[in-house]
Amino acid sequence: MTNHAFHPRRNCRPRGRVVGAGGKTAAGMGRGAALMLALFAMMVVGTTTLSYVASRETSSAIAANAQLAADARTLASSGMSIAKDILRSSETIWRRNHVGGVLLNNYVLDGGTVTVKLVDIVKRANPANGGNIFPDDSTTEVEVTVSSTRNGATWSSVANMSIPSVVKGEYAIFANKIMIIDGTNNFIGRWPNAPMSAQKLRVNIGTQADLAFLSNVYPWFGSGVWLQGGCRFEAEVAGSTPTDPDSMKATWIYYPYSASGLIVQGAKASSVAAKRMDPLDSIRMVSPPVPPTVGSTYTNYTNNYVITGGTYSVNSFRVRAVFLPQLFTKNFEVRGGATVTLNTGTYEVYGSWILRDSRIIINGDVKFVINPNLALTGLDWQNSSVEINPNSTFEIYNGYSMDVRSCWIGLRKQYICNSVLIDGDPHKKNWFGQFTSNACYGVAPSSPQYMEPWRVRVYPMRQFLSSFFLWDIRDTSIVGSLFLPTNPIRLFGRTQVYGRVAANHLLIYDTASFFYDHALDLVTGFTEGRAPSRGGDPEDMFPSRVITYGFNAESAR
């Protein structure tokens, strides 16, 4: 199934075909509209090693060598241009698309070959990295080395590139009509455990609200954003300028170009910068993906499928009544401290998924479709955990309402402490009041171990009256992406969401908080069109300044 909301964009035109390390192509490495990385403070230093004719007695040989050097240098310059295009492209996750730092390996170009290598400058300067000097998601300072070979001559050019904070960014939160933060201590900012949070990038919030009117009193009759006295935002942002008050604010809220009234109101409205979108940025949320169906091999249950206690490993199944499944609902229930592993496959339930005091482990790529029919509540979870194995994904397609209380959804990761294998995230143990300090964790971590939030995706099922039902999350920690373009979602109690969320209406109460992972900027967002910038001119790039060409023909005589 194609997942348009979470796969990298594929609608750009590539700048030709580039073969990367490991034989990968970089046809998708072209211009990206979602993220333009402005490159500045570039210093290019060229060095060269050339093959020369032994005899230096003839001027023709000297001229030939000089021509070879010029050709190799020109080729290296072309390779550096390709490297800059790759680093500027949102379609290429260049921090990961390399093998041991090699981004392009002997790429054939203009009668020669080009190799591009990347080094994280900050990591290289830290001996504690143990020789791991290659880029990752946290890289902001990168050394690019381009080596060219043509007709036996070689040339090496080196550029230090710094990636500033002025970039395009996806929306951390998108509230189509209404966003109300009305609690005692609500926080919206970055996820500290996310690799890119150290860059202190700005958090973008978007809305299609076009007139703030009565929504704070009658939530379903108006539109706009209300930030009451209990909400807090990040205090620092990279690239801020004291002379520009908006640049000093770490959170920007974008509203439509066509808006006719105030959009952001409330006691904390001045804590954020309200920005009118450009005409091309006035965008709508995309439609949720079509729910999948079970494959050819699955187990069919015609009555309630109930698991109580014990440990189980199950594969694809369907729970549905034999006659009139729209009227006679059948549930999937996990209760009484059971541990159930769901293996790769699609699961369907024509009723409710009821989860009580139990543990679900996601192993592989799991899709779960819940059609509640007359049950009204599709997802009914309480006091349970849903843990995602490494490299696994979990998609939920839920109809009607959702009621998740006192749950924990995140990465299942074992760790070794003093040669003892320990199962479970210490944050999860603390969430359920079961944390015990050890030599590795004297204090419980304040947030879950890192997992890419796109690995957990929650979608609504479009069906009769489905958009009228509330989706409630109370006292729950969840790492994931929640996408409800037609539904209202409410966050209560001490709920913590690590990832991003989009909804028709978003209501945040009590101490519920939201933490964004900026790595999601590299994954297609919730809206159609292009995402906004975080300020400044994303097209701006300082020209290359040549310090030395690296080859002196006179000294070679």
Domain boundaries, the chain: 21-165+541-548, 167-288+499-536, 301-412+449-461, 414-447
Per-residue pLDDT for 84 more than 80? Answer: no
Average pLDDT over residues 143-157: 86
pLDDT of res. 227 = 93
Instruction: Tell me the torsion sign for CA atoms 19, 25, 27, 28.
Output: negative
* Residue whose tokens read 């910068």: 273
pLDDT of res. 10 = 30
pLDDT of res. 217 = 53
pLDDT of res. 2 = 34
pLDDT of res. 366 = 97
The Cα–Cα gap between 60 and 181 comes to: 77
Tens-digit pLDDT profile for residues 261-296: 788 989 999 999 999 887 777 778 888 889 999 988
The answer to whether 37 and 87 have CB atoms below 8 angstroms apart is yes
Average pLDDT over residues 465-484: 92
The answer to whether 416 and 439 have CB atoms below 8 angstroms apart is no
The Cα–Cα gap between 518 and 27 comes to: 24
Average pLDDT over residues 142-148: 86
- Residue 116 tokens read as 């591009």
pLDDT of res. 234 = 96
Average pLDDT over residues 145-157: 87
Region of 290 please: left (phi>0), alpha (psi -120 to 50) or beta: beta
Averaged pLDDT score across all residues of the chain: 79
Confidence of residue 173 (pLDDT cuts 50, 70, 90): very high
443, with CB counted inside 10 A (0-12, 13-18, 19+), is exposed
Q: Which amino acid is at 307?
A: I
CA-based nearest residue to 401, from 488, 308, 499: 488
Find residue 203's DSSP bridge partners: 251
Q: Strand 332-335 and strand 353-356: pairing?
A: parallel
Per-residue pLDDT for 154 more than 90? Answer: no
The Cα–Cα gap between 18 and 395 comes to: 33
Decide: pTM greater than 0.85: no
